[in-house]
Amino acid sequence: MSVTLADVARRAGVSPATASRALGGRPHVAPATRMRVRRAADELNFVVSPEASRLAGGARGRVGVVVPHLAQWSCGAALEGLEPVLRGAGVDLLLYGVGDPAARTAFFADLPARRRVDALVVLGTALDEQERARLELMAVPVVAAAGRGGQPGVRVDEHAAARHAVDHLLHLGHRRIGAVAAAGPPDGVLEAFAAAHRDALHDAGLAHDAGLLVRVGRGAPGAAEGAGRLLGLREPPTAVVASSDEVALGVVRTLGRARLRVPDDVSVVGLGDHPLAEAADLTTVCRPAREQGAEAGRMVLEALAGGAVPTVVLPSRLVVRGSTAPPGRTT
């Protein structure tokens, strides 16, 4: 049926063991022999069977990626960073979506990854105690990426990111700065956002005003509601920071409907540097999603090589675009 290592060995006039060594790039093979085997393999169009190889104790190299929301750009971007690193090292990437709660339960219950993967990357979601315990049971390295922290892996400092945003507005001269925190991200992230907003205003010596932080539901309706609540304040803010670019765009739209111009009347800052933020000319704070993925990939490789998984916090970076400006003349 398909070409086997034995075929290649025969054609090259060596034993299967030597052929295996030669092809696998392992030592103790004469250069000439290696060449010969390589050529034979080429001619036969041979590719090792990963099953057989693994079964026989060879190639490690399969990592599972657990992702909640594939459609979310940040997950995709992280994957895009992760994939080449892993592939470059010859390890395969198995995808496990756990967006659906049922699927999530099933994943951790079936522990389907057991024996299927040599390591796991958990992308953009926090694991609860039970889930962590299940993973522990698998006895493979687990790298968290883009999560809220708490597990070894890579993430960004959410508090710092949000502060970049608020500080930018303060720096522009704004004194009434609203914040819209929309549900969606893991709790820890939202908390960091709220805290950063509070801290920044406090550090600027501004009186605390609980009304400036509004917590809303996810999606477009949430963003609209948030903007509406802020606008309805006795003294509406001259600038708004949103917990994500998605929310920020919703805020911009709601402002527009209220005949308020961005940034002339109100400045808006997002969080994340969504690909569309550039098109929408939205000032935002870049959370390097790709980089997080790539870093996670490197961590996996190290872990596979026997190392421990460290914790790395990547910096975020303010990206100033056209949705922010100094406060206008009137309020």
How far apart are alpha carbons 96 and 36 in whole angstroms?
Answer: 41
The verdict on 139 binding DNA (CB under 7 A) reads: no
The verdict on 112 binding DNA (CB under 7 A) reads: no
Site string for its own copies, 211-250 (x = CB under 8 A): --------xx--x----------------------xx-xx
Closer Cβ to DNA, 21 or 163, answer by number: 21
Q: How far is the CB of 11 from DNA (least distance, A)?
A: 12
The verdict on 253 binding its own copies (CB under 8 A) reads: yes
The verdict on 35 binding DNA (CB under 7 A) reads: no
Per the CB < 8 A criterion, the answer to whether 44 and 3 are in contact is yes
* Lookup: tokens for 174: 């704004």
Q: Pick from its own copies, DNA, none: which does 311 bind, CB < 5 to 8 A by kind?
A: none
Cβ within 8 Å of residue 191, ≥6 positions away = none
Which residue spans within the chain are E strands per DSSP?
62-67, 92-97, 119-123, 142-145, 153-156, 177-182, 213-216, 239-242, 267-269, 284-286, 311-314, 317-319
Cβ within 8 Å of residue 172, ≥6 positions away = 239, 267, 324, 325, 326, 327
Q: Which of 9, 11, 36, 72 binds its own copies (CB under 8 A)?
A: 72
* Lookup: tokens for 298: 């490197």
The verdict on 79 binding its own copies (CB under 8 A) reads: yes
| CA terminus-to-terminus distance, the chain | 78
Choices 11-19, 65-73, 104-112, 315-323; region in contact with DNA by CB under 7 A: 11-19
Q: How far is the CB of 82 from DNA (least distance, A)?
A: 25
- Compute how many residues bind DNA; rule: CB under 7 A: 33
Q: Which of 42, 43, 52, 202 binds DNA (CB under 7 A)?
A: 52
Q: How far is the CB of 54 from its own copies (least distance, A)?
A: 5
Window 278 to 307, contacts with its own copies (CB under 8 A):
278-281, 289-290
- Residue whose entry in the numeric block shows the structure tokens 């994939």: 83
Per the CB < 8 A criterion, the answer to whether 238 and 266 are in contact is yes
How far apart are alpha carbons 116 and 88 in whole angstroms?
Answer: 20
Q: Which of 24, 99, 184, 188 binds its own copies (CB under 8 A)?
A: 99
User: Which positions lie near DNA, rule CB under 7 A?
Assistant: 1-2, 4-6, 13-18, 20-21, 23-24, 26-30, 32-34, 46, 48-49, 52-53, 55-59
